[in-house]
Structure 1
Amino acid sequence: MILYYYPGACSLADHIALVESGLPYKLMSITHEKKTEDSRDFLSINPKGYVPALELDDGEVLTENPVILNYIAEKSGKLLPKKSIARWRSLEATAFMASEIHGSYAPFFLNFPETEKERARKKITKAFSLLDDQMGDKKYLVGEDITIADCYLFWVLMASERIGLELTERLRSYYDDMKLLPSVSRALAEENLG
């Protein structure tokens, strides 16, 4: 498999999941000009033009974080509980982050007016409060084992630093603990994010 990524972008969630899963993968970075590191046109691989994109061994390409994360979990048999409500809570949290948080970062990365940024800050802060409540006293977002939701949550929290958003004490502690996981450390190092 080949993960097309941009360093520090949301594709980091998939990168962490690939490391954590133990599945073999190759990395291929893309530039803002939509070129791969080996000079191919990224739009010919993913016409949507953004990361992540996961090229499977048969040449098929998957896009969208929730889909790629779920694929990695299904393929590896890891990162997603097989039975119990924890499976559905993990999928629910992943979808929530994709729909309610990830898109709310757009005003900060696309130079929107300050009023739009403030509206987005409030929406993200509310979403973080809900995730904080969901986590409760658990080690990870939905239980005692890491899931795809944690891979995505790590990136969502990392992106909050870029916009100066204050995290709750529990989410800050969780984020700091996640940075120490071998899979997270490796993914950060492979993307030169130190």
Structure 2
Amino acid sequence: MKLYYSPGACSLASHIALEEVGATYSVEKVDIRAKKTESGEDFRKISPRAAVPTLELDNGEILTEGVAIMQYVMDSAKPGSLPAAGTLGRARLQEALNFVSTEIHKNYAPFFYGLDGEAKAKQTATLDARLALVEEQLGDDRAFLTGADYSPADAYFFTVTNWSKMLGHDLAAFPRINALRARVAERPAVQAAMRAEGLI
């Protein structure tokens, strides 16, 4: 398998998933703005969406969307590492992954377009309201987003909340989130993926 990624982008979560299961894979960095891979290929010819993460499978098929990639990687490379399809556990995992995707990730995105003034304040309030829901959920002393066990949802949440520091967004009001982030950051797979992307 080959993962196309951009350092620190949402593709980091897929990179972590590959490390978590000990998959055999390669990576290639992508310049998202220029739509070029590090080897000079036109990324639009590889991935029709021209977005990371993109996973090229061993048979040449292309898989996009991090939520799909993380589940595919873990299910195929290490069967049983995720709750089985059709169980409440799997539904809870998909619930968490989709919440991170639609309510957390997408509420960080506008900051990358140079918000300021009232627009920035409104977007910050929206993001903080979504983060407050996670903070409240963690109030039952669960270790991770879906309960006692780590899942790809935690890697994804860790990845997108990493953007707060770069954007000047303060997470101090969310001590449980910060504790979760610290637990995720300690995982060897997270360390390996971040080191490979030049993030540590």
- TM-score grouping bracket, smaller chain normalisation: over 0.9
What secondary structure does 1:29 align onto? Answer: strand
Deviation at residue 6 of structure 1 after TM alignment: 0.3
Deviation at residue 93 of structure 1 after TM alignment: 1.0
2:185 alignment counterpart: 179
1:35 alignment counterpart: 36
Deviation at residue 181 of structure 1 after TM alignment: 0.8
1:140 alignment counterpart: 144
Separation of aligned partners in 1, 2:39 and 2:100: 32
2:89 alignment counterpart: 86
The residue type paired with residue 125 of structure 1 is D
The residue type paired with residue 15 of structure 2 is H
Tell whether 2:86 aligns with 1:99. no
Label 1:174 to 1:99 Cα distance change in 2 as closer, same or farther (>3 A): same
Deviation at residue 84 of structure 1 after TM alignment: 4.7
1:11 alignment counterpart: 11
Deviations 1:130-164 (A, max 9, x none): 11222331111112221111111111221122222
What secondary structure does 1:4 align onto? Answer: strand
1:190 alignment counterpart: 196
Tell whether 2:51 aligns with 1:45. no
Deviations 1:75-113 (A, max 9, x none): 122552227533211111111111112111222111234
2:117 alignment counterpart: 114
What secondary structure does 2:159 align onto? Answer: helix
Separation of aligned partners in 1, 2:41 and 2:90: 38
TM-score relative to the length of structure 2 = 0.90
Unaligned runs of 5+ residues in structure 1 are: none
Deviation at residue 67 of structure 1 after TM alignment: 1.2
2:156 counterpart (152, 155, 175): 152
1:163 alignment counterpart: 167
What secondary structure does 1:38 align onto? Answer: coil
Deviation at residue 63 of structure 1 after TM alignment: 0.9
Separation of aligned partners in 2, 1:93 and 1:12: 17
Deviation at residue 9 of structure 1 after TM alignment: 0.4
Separation of aligned partners in 1, 2:68 and 2:61: 13
Identity of aligned residues (%): 39
What secondary structure does 2:108 align onto? Answer: helix
**RMSD of aligned Cα (Å):** 1.6
What secondary structure does 2:126 align onto? Answer: helix
2:133 alignment counterpart: 130
Q: 8 Å contact 1:10–1:155 — kept in the other structure?
A: yes
Label 1:16 to 1:85 Cα distance change in 2 as closer, same or farther (>3 A): same
What secondary structure does 1:193 align onto? Answer: coil
